[in-house]
Chains A and B, each alone.
Chain A
Amino acid sequence: MSYRVEPRLYAVGAPDPESPVLVTANYKMTFDFVRRELGGVDTWLLVLDTKGVNVWCAAGKGTFGTDEVVRQVEATGLARIVSHRTLILPQLSATGVAAHRVRDATGFRVVYGPVRAKDVPAFLAAGCQATPEMRRVTFTLSERLTVVPMELAGGAKFSLAVLALLFILAGLRRDGFSVEAAWALGVRAAALYLAGFLAGALVTPVLLPWLPGRAFALKGASVGGVLALVYFLCQSKELTSRAGALDVGAWLFLLPAVSSFFAMNFTGATPYTSPSGVRREVRVALPGQALAAALGLSLWFLSHFL
């Protein structure tokens, strides 16, 4: 199924030369949402060629950009179809479009509409006035949950490699390789690793506003730390043996490290973290995560190898 819409000028309802012109991307979902949210309002909808990508991402990449707006205004002969000279662009296209340059090139003034399509009718009814809420991007729980599956999928490849490593290390003995041990210990380690992964890639995003610190690495480490504590309490009987103590010690490092790492990765899926902040966070947290992971992995390996 194609998710692209043909870029051109569309009529929504029965617009006339006085009707407003809304500009949007040619991602099918965007196009459908805009038309649906317009309800019965008569407008022109100028669909740009954003390669089937949504507004904000395309603007960031430059495809929903000044040049494309100018190109489509000219290609569609918009100036001969409408009597006014105003284009209403989605607010989130502003990262790719310079309003004053569109005006200079086409004679059309750019007004930025609301962030969300559902606010367009109210925006138009108020004479192209937006309330502050219409201009804010949020990151509510349901919005966070929407991007979690992408994070889980993104971490899958890396996780498979880690799991393979765990199974191999689990089977290593001083006298060779044991398949039974690889399986028995491997499954256990895999389960714990996955718990850490979910702590960082699912639990942290869900609990984001309530977890300690601003840095995602810290928020993730706290969830992983709680997980490690639970494991410690469940395994308290094992602590009397050297193997048991080494194993528990290992996960006290590994669970926060894994959770912290995947939580830090979640910064890329948020609409509020600054790249400068992320760079700082990675610079500080990544070495710590790597060290803790190396330490934890060593302890875990020693717990069954010795």
Chain B
Amino acid sequence: MASLRYLEGAVTLRLDAELCIGCGMCLEVCPHGVFAMEGKKALVADLGACMECGACALNCPVQAISVTPGVGCAVAVIQGALRGTEPCCDCSQGKGACCS
């Protein structure tokens, strides 16, 4: 959404232009229009819009993209910090996690 922006400086997305073969998959899969094509290569046009979903990195056939995806839930971050583990969503409510 044009009017909804988040904290832009923390984004871990990186595109290695040397490795890029210009296939355009990153443009196809990105839900926020982060990438653009310039000539025969892709580039990051809007880094701040990235939500670190990881679709681009997963679908780049030459692994030119890296991003550290993770649980974007504040509850998960807090729980993880309290337990000394990675962010983990305790949305299980006792029986079976809500999203698995």
Contacts and interface: CB of A to CB of B under 8 A. Distances in A.
Nearest to B30: A135
Contacts of A216: 74
B5 interface: yes
Interface string A110-130: 001001000000000000001
Contacts of A266: 74
B4 A97 contact: no
A154 B75 contact: yes
Q: Name which of B29, B50, B54 has the most chain A CB atoms within 10 A of its CB.
A: B29
B75 A274 contact: no
A268 B74 CA distance: 6
B74 A264 contact: yes
A58 to B, nearest CB: 8
B7 A215 contact: yes
Contacts of A53: 99-100
Interface residues of B, number: 44
Q: Name which of A138, A215, A274 has the most chain B CB atoms within 10 A of its CB.
A: A274
Interface of A: 51, 53, 57, 60-61, 63, 91-92, 94-100, 112, 115, 130, 132, 135-140, 154, 208-209, 214-216, 264-268, 270-282, 286
Interface of B: 1, 3-8, 10-12, 25, 28-33, 49-55, 58-59, 61, 68-78, 81, 87, 89, 91, 99-100
12 contacts: A95-B53, A97-B59, A99-B61, A115-B31, A136-B31, A214-B5, A268-B75, A274-B11, A274-B51, A276-B11, A277-B11, A279-B70
